[in-house]
Structure 1
């Protein structure tokens, strides 16, 4: 019996078969994905060795951090609740922390930490601005890049000795002020000035590393955005504010945190050489206080308590800075 002819206007059989094939392939692919999903959900998609491979690769780094960082930190925190001297090894509760906050030197060191937090934007802005000029290839930018990084390779002891000569009461800095008709300043002997002088020297000595980090961040910028802003007639401050700063948000976060950590933990050499914590304890920072209690007063438990407080301050300040920077990045 002859087959019925297709209705008028319907496509030929070959066309209908071609049209049905993609639907069949789609259904087949869906069945495969469903099977894979069921295997994934049941934990049978990968062999056991492949599932354990990421943990095996991460394990050495985790063990190193736990053994050389977290375990000593836990020991230090535990040791801070023990006594010194006649009470060595005895549990004393919170006595060491009460002693800390009753000590004028430690209180002054914590005030100076607050000052460092206030001066942090300056410490970050200086290398950021200089890196912007180098990135924009101002005349002589290659020479400037070398000169800016040079202080980072010098020892803090050498830098402190150099600036002791420059900032002496009868040194070159006051000679320049005298030539300008200004009175001399006791840079390292005035309690209200000494901490600012030491922090300024530290910023000068360390901003070369932040400059390198900023230059690495500039390498990730989309230059077409900067070119478009220039074509639209945007001035340099507007380009920096609306193009460069948002594009470097991650780099800025990194520099802010590392700079703050450096200011809290890397100024001992300068303090020791330039002021020795003076005058009148005005340049004490927690790390210098820790060294003084441990090395000079033989009070390791009290020094451990100060170290624990310093760690808590660094953690809180770092998390707060990251939260502020992330919020400002979302607003931009």
Structure 2
């Protein structure tokens, strides 16, 4: 009898293993197109860029291999130092980029009057190109612009928002925040729809304040959304501000608003040094990858809040 049972089970195991193997091959066929796109348009250019950063290429001519000389030059380049200092200041403002849309999303989700109208108004700037946004704020922020005219009503003198090195980068950050936070707001609104209403009601019945409900109920539930928005926002602010910089400040005054992505364009387009520009792009890639990894690690910890 034991031998009979083993004989009947063996074919079943074989059939089960064969079915799982067919399922894996079938799933691989679906993954293959996306995998090819990643390899062709992400991995290959990344490898090619690293190889290019090891040369002294100029223009379209192939450069000679110079090892890590470009990276050594970066370590001595004041313009690169300034761009990294500006990047650090930009990264320091990232909590604002997350908190502003999240708080506005919570207010809209709580049913404030005109919530649908505000949702449309907040999202509208995200539909505009950076050139249009830059052109609008070029008019608003100039010395005789509408913002300074408004401040004069309160006895505040005109401020050179874009021409002063102390205010230019902060003005640029504020404009970029205005132009992009609408997308994060919609993501948070979608996340808030997953927060169980009975948990919020239970917190209210237990006497929890709005702040306590926000901190102990909403934040833990939205943690995956916060993590996603943090990573996407980090990548966005480090790689998608070229248009605003070009239109509003052109990296100035001096290098006060120069970020690595704009410096890459200067070295590639103006200085005709693709090898050096590739070295900057490699450093920027490592910086973004490191920040994104750190954010994921921090947000993924099981911390009691």
Q: TM-score range by the shorter chain?
A: over 0.9
Shift in Å, 1:48: 4.4
Q: Which residue of 1 aligns with 2:96?
A: 122
Shift in Å, 1:43: 7.9
**1:83 to 2:56 alignment:** yes
Matches within 5 A, 1:50-65: 50-65=23-38
* Number of equivalences: 300
Q: Which residue of 2 aligns with 1:132?
A: 106
Shift in Å, 1:88: 4.1
Corresponding residue SS for 2:160? coil
Matches within 5 A, 1:1-332: 35=9, 39=13, 44-46=17-19, 48-85=21-58, 88-327=62-301, 329-332=302-305
Q: 1:36 to 1:305 in 2, by over 3 A?
A: farther
Distance 1:141 1:187 in 2: 32
Structure 1: 5+ residue stretches without partners: 1-27
Instruction: Tell me, yes or no, if the aligned pair for 2:58 and 2:274 is still in contact at 8 Å.
Output: no
Shift in Å, 1:82: 0.7
Question: TM-score w.r.t. structure 1 length?
Answer: 0.85
Distance 1:38 1:115 in 2: 63
Q: 1:245 to 1:37 in 2, by over 3 A?
A: farther
Shift in Å, 1:182: 2.1
Structure 2: 5+ residue stretches without partners: none
Shift in Å, 1:36: 7.6
Question: TM-score w.r.t. structure 2 length?
Answer: 0.93
Shift in Å, 1:130: 0.4
Q: 1:252 to 1:37 in 2, by over 3 A?
A: farther
Distance 1:55 1:111 in 2: 44
Q: 1:182 to 1:81 in 2, by over 3 A?
A: same
Shift in Å, 1:85: 3.9
Corresponding residue SS for 1:98? helix
Structure 1 range deviating more: 189-198 or 101-110: 101-110
